Homo-oligomer: A and B are copies of this chain.
Amino acid sequence: MPAPRSNNRRSLSASLVSLTLDRADPGSLQDQLYDQLRELILSGRLAVGARLPSTRALARELACSRNTTVNAYDRLFAEGYLESQAGSGTYVSGVLPEDLLRTSNQDSSMNPESTPRPDRPMGLSSRGESFVSLRQGGPPDLAAFTLGVPEIGSFPFELWARLLTRTWRRPTSELWRPGDAAGHGPLREAIAQYVRAARAVECDWRQVIITSGAQLGLSLAAQCLLDPGDKVWVENPGYAGLHGPLLAAGLVPVPVPVDDQGLSLEDGLARAPDAKMAVVTPSHHYPLGTVMSLPRRLALLDWARDRSAWILEDDYDSEYRYAGRPLSALQGLDRAGRVIYIGSFSKVLFPALRLGYVVAPLEISEFLVQARAALEDHPSTVAQPALAAFFAEGHFAAHIRRMRRLYASRQACLVRAAEAHLSDLLVLKPDEAGLHLLARLSAPLALRMDDQTASAKARRAGIVAPALSRFYSGATGGQGLLLGYAGVSETEIPEKVRILAEALG
């Protein structure tokens, strides 16, 4: 039934004046609205960061049902054109899906000849555009259930402040002088001891290089051990943060499927038999949680030895295992010196610390240090001595033990709350390790929406629940939501789960 269209457009922003819904059009009203909004965004008439009217206001303006506007917005959310901040409205996203799609074909985006762009904005290079499109938006939200946010209320900041003061009140010249590119000696020794004891990593302190986190570790290995154009197996699904360092080093990431035993060596060999490196999370796959089986580990090590290839082992959350036997690092099985092991303190202490480490085979560690010196001089010594003291005085081990109990309890709380409120919608399995759970979409929910739509609905309700399919490259991704529970208290968890259930209900 055609309805009279409203003539009152004063409350809409000028760029929305052109919106018209044609009841005679064979396309549904929500498809028309979706198409027109998308076109306004892509043409730039709705600029990045522009605020959109609420679904209610827009429905009133267009004299359509609110369902129409909600569904059109949801689709634009799900596809990344819109973003929202809890309670503060709906905005055009900073990085649009078209930018993202453009770089999913890494081969051509890395080769300037193959993609002439005379219309490149702002004088960015071809590589620069690829960088820009790697990243979606700014720093993450702290809302439940953001991934990778540890519990902070329990971190002993008073102690941390005291350790900093002790270091800096009357520093020796060793502290203020230009430092060692490998990092502060006592911290290297403390980390070597820790990874030997806790992770069965075989190393001494000379093999430990202090970094600003996993990305710098990957950069050093990539710059030192590979040449531009070399191929690198990366896990699919996997950690998107790998792509910046790989792009900077001119490498070609080759996504390799992960099965129930970890990265599929067979698929890797089929897709890129000449790969020079594999980047893996064998202890606890990110984000699926799979543990790489022993046969797969040995096969991967054999591959690296036989092909003179390298394995980069990202042991990103190995500190948190709640059940089962702690698994040794892949590095400890390596007899050929082909594994570079990286870890970070962002999830163990606090994210803004930005300290991590590389453990490299002794024969190459001094070269990685020299590359570090050439790339970025040496790491700041402001926090390193305090962190070394935090280890030496037993605070590190004590903090991990406390957090392990806390996170195990929070995971159990999340599983219980999900059973109570989400059982028709999401299927959660407990995990023996980590800081998040994977919630698969239930069959009835999957009939109604895909995971990106579900994630968008959650975000609009103030809940962060990243869609699993976003961690895949290529069209066929698994469907699910990832729920980071480490930073959410047990009083909050049931409430947030209820909100999530309502948003998806």
Give the interface of A toward B (CB within 8 A). 112, 122-128, 131-132, 134-135, 138-140, 142, 148-149, 152, 155, 157-158, 160-162, 164-165, 167-171, 173, 175-181, 212-213, 215-216, 219, 223-230, 241, 243-245, 247-250, 308, 310, 346, 350-355, 363-364, 367, 370-371, 373-383
In angstroms, Cα B171 to Cα A155, docked, is 11
**Interchain CB contact (< 8 A) of A138 among B181, B228, B243:** B181
A-B contact pairs, 22 of them (CB 8 A): A112-B229, A124-B225, A125-B225, A125-B230, A127-B227, A131-B375, A135-B373, A138-B180, A138-B181, A139-B180, A140-B178, A142-B177, A157-B176, A161-B167, A176-B350, A178-B346, A215-B377, A219-B375, A247-B374, A354-B378, A354-B381, A382-B382
Query: A351 near B383 (CB under 8 angstroms)?
Result: no
In angstroms, Cα B374 to Cα A243, docked, is 7
Query: A157 near B131 (CB under 8 angstroms)?
Result: no
**Interchain CB contact (< 8 A) of A124 among B124, B351, B364:** B364
In angstroms, Cα B374 to Cα A157, docked, is 29
Taken together, the copies of this chain in the complex come to 2
Q: In the assembled complex, how far is the CB of residue A372 from the closest CB belonging to chain B, in whole angstroms?
A: 9
**Interchain CB contact (< 8 A) of A164 among B168, B170, B352, B363:** B168
Q: In the assembled complex, how far is the CB of residue A406 from the closest CB belonging to chain B, in whole angstroms?
A: 17
In angstroms, Cα B179 to Cα A167, docked, is 24
Known interface pairs A165-B161, A308-B123, A364-B123; A128-B382 also in contact (CB < 8 Å): no
Interface centre among A175, A180, A223 (most CB of B within 10 A): A223
Query: A248 near B245 (CB under 8 angstroms)?
Result: no
Closest to A179 in B: B352
